Amino acid sequence: MIKRLLALIIFCCFLASAEARSHAKILSKDQLVAILTDILLAKALVADYENTDKKSADALFLKNAQLIYTAHHTDAMSFKKSYLYYLNNPYLMLAIYEQVVSNLEAVLAQAK
């Protein structure tokens, strides 16, 4: 689980390092929490594929990420710009990830 979380954080940092379009808006903390929670769940779904077919796993994850952006009425550029904004505000980012972890724990508890 920690490896997956670390991989996602690295992935998000990579996304955040890309220059966002100027018209992309900053998402609220609650929006970012919801999107990051869904992205982590999507990453967990494709984790089994990574051991057998990395290219297929990456393609499936990117497809799921796009569906997540659509479901949350945003796009990849707004997500990237928002992630970079919060990444540059560590206390805000800490609060976001604390809520994401709480959300994931709730999903895990429901699954049991």
Query: Cα–Cα distances in Å, from 112 out to 10, 77, 92, 101?
Result: 29, 36, 31, 17
Would you say the pTM of this structure is higher than 0.85?
no
Helix pair 54-71, 76-87: axis angle to 10 deg: 90
Instruction: Give me the pLDDT at residue 87, please.
Output: 95
pLDDT > 50? residue 42? yes
Instruction: Give me the pLDDT at residue 6, please.
Output: 57
Instruction: Give me the pLDDT at residue 20, please.
Output: 44
pLDDT > 50? residue 21? no
- What's the DSSP call for residue 20? P
Note the pLDDT tens digit of each residue in 52-108.
Answer: 778 888 889 999 999 999 999 999 999 999 999 999 999 999 999 999 999 999 999
Rounded mean pLDDT, 12-34: 73
Q: If you write DSSP's letter for every residue of 39-86 in order, what string do you get?
A: HHHHHHHHHHHHHH-HHHHHHHHHHHHHHHHHHTT--HHHHHHHHHHH
